[in-house]
Amino acid sequence: MSVRWRPMRPGDVRECVEIVAADPVSGPRYGSAITHLQSVWLRLLGWRAFRSVVFEDLGGQRPRLIGVGISAFLTEDYAHAVKGPPLFWVAPDLVRRVMAGEAPLLNDRQLQDANTSCGLRNYVWHGCTRLEDRARPEVHNSVITAFVEQHRGYFLSELLAQGEGEQQVEMILNTGGLLWSGTAGGYVVAPADNRKRLLSEPHILGLTREMALGQVGSWVGSLFIYQSPQFGLRPSEQRLLTTALEGGTDEELAEDLGISLSAVKKAWRTIYQRIAGSQPALLPDELTDERWGGKRGKEKKQRLIAYLREHPEELRPLSRKLLPRHAARWRSLPAKAAIPITAK
């Protein structure tokens, strides 16, 4: 595949804004706020509630940036506000609020608490690619793959979006998304003859956890299936393991994280001890014994990394204080089915 995705870097932001500004649907919605979009994204980079990736075409002599994917975990108050009335374009409103110092995104502490207790409301800010690349199947597949990898493992309660094009609207609605109706006071099935008109007026497309768990076979619905983390890893341990997932030696981890090699090795020992205490079968005694080292040490890391790829919830923000209180509730949550209303 010639298209890949990776985390957004500060040097990507200007070009990402240019892609959005040139888009015939997304660009005009910003109005004058587009002039502040670069500053806002640079300000939000590094927030754990700001999920941002870029898409690159690797087919040429050097990677070519062809798109941007951004979502944000919103405060409860703002998530309710975007559903109006009256409905409004969320993207420029987010820009204005961040510029005013009133960012309606969860801070790190709020994100930890919500992801451990009540669940998270995520707004899909952009999934925008260059027009000349949009019809390529590998671009579409990369956008979906990135979205899944960026959001699985979170305790989601609701996904929200505003369509950026006919193809995206159809994709959202065909994978279980519904249209918010203020009149009905909830999500409804979007009429087939009304879908194009959605792009010209403020609207909200979305899906709640209760509705998603009532659907079978939807990749979007699968994001709401949640398993309680078992290890209760600290943020510093999560950062090391997240970096380790990308490969690299302990020396490279130390350089990437800006810590000493001895600190990396100490962190590994602490992580192994924590895991052995909660899930001893994952790392048997013969692998956790420090006397082995060498080949056994590599096998130990490989087993842990393989487990984390299948259990991303271990690397998501959590409140160690709230975790014991809510873990039992997660295990007993029923998969309720919701019967959506059809809009008139």
Among the residue ranges 16-20, 74-78, 210-214, the one predicted with the least confidence is 210-214
Residue 340 confidence class, pLDDT cut points 50, 70, 90: very low
Residue 69 β-bridge partners: 53, 127
The confidence score (pLDDT) of residue 1 equals 58
Q: Name the residue with tokens 């995206």.
A: 168
Among the residue ranges 113-127, 151-165, 228-242, the one predicted with the least confidence is 228-242
Q: Name the residue with tokens 């079978």.
A: 216
- Residue 335 pLDDT more than 50? no
124 vs 252, more confident: 124
| pLDDT mean across residues, the chain | 88
Peptide bond between residue 280 and the one before it cis (omega within 30 degrees of 0): no
The SS3 call for residue 317 is: coil
Give the mean pLDDT of 204-216: 87
Measured CA to CA, the distance from residue 218 to residue 46 in angstroms comes to: 31
The helix or strand, by DSSP H or E, that contains position 137, with its residue range, turns out to be helix 137-151
Contact 8, 46 (CB under 8 A): no
Give the mean pLDDT of 332-342: 41
What percentage of the chain exceeds 70 in pLDDT? 90
Encode pLDDT of 43-62 as tens digits: 999 999 999 999 999 988 89
pTM for the model stands at 0.89
Measured CA to CA, the distance from residue 50 to residue 225 in angstroms comes to: 21
Give the mean pLDDT of 283-298: 58
* CB-count burial class (<10 Å; 0-12, 13-18, 19+) for 257: middle
Encode pLDDT of 182-196 as tens digits: 999 999 998 877 777
- Residue 87 pLDDT more than 90? yes
Residue 292 confidence class, pLDDT cut points 50, 70, 90: very low
Give the domain ranges of the chain.
3-222, 235-315
- Residue 239 pLDDT more than 70? yes
Contact 93, 122 (CB under 8 A): no
The confidence score (pLDDT) of residue 205 equals 96
C-alpha atoms less than 13 angstroms from C-alpha of 155 in its C-beta half-sphere? 23
Beta-carbon contacts of 227 under 8 Å, excluding residues fewer than 6 positions away, are 311, 313, 330
The confidence score (pLDDT) of residue 329 equals 60
Secondary structure letter of residue 11 according to DSSP: G
Contact 154, 316 (CB under 8 A): yes
CATH number of 3-222: 3.40.630.30
Measured CA to CA, the distance from residue 98 to residue 253 in angstroms comes to: 33
Mind giving me the DSSP string for 243-305?
HHTT---HHHHHHHHT--HHHHHHHHHHHHHHHHHH-TTTS-HHHH-TTT-HHHHHHHHHHHH
- Residue 289 pLDDT more than 60? no
- Residue 114 pLDDT more than 60? yes
The one-letter amino acid at 250: D
Measured CA to CA, the distance from residue 41 to residue 342 in angstroms comes to: 37
Measured CA to CA, the distance from residue 74 to residue 54 in angstroms comes to: 21
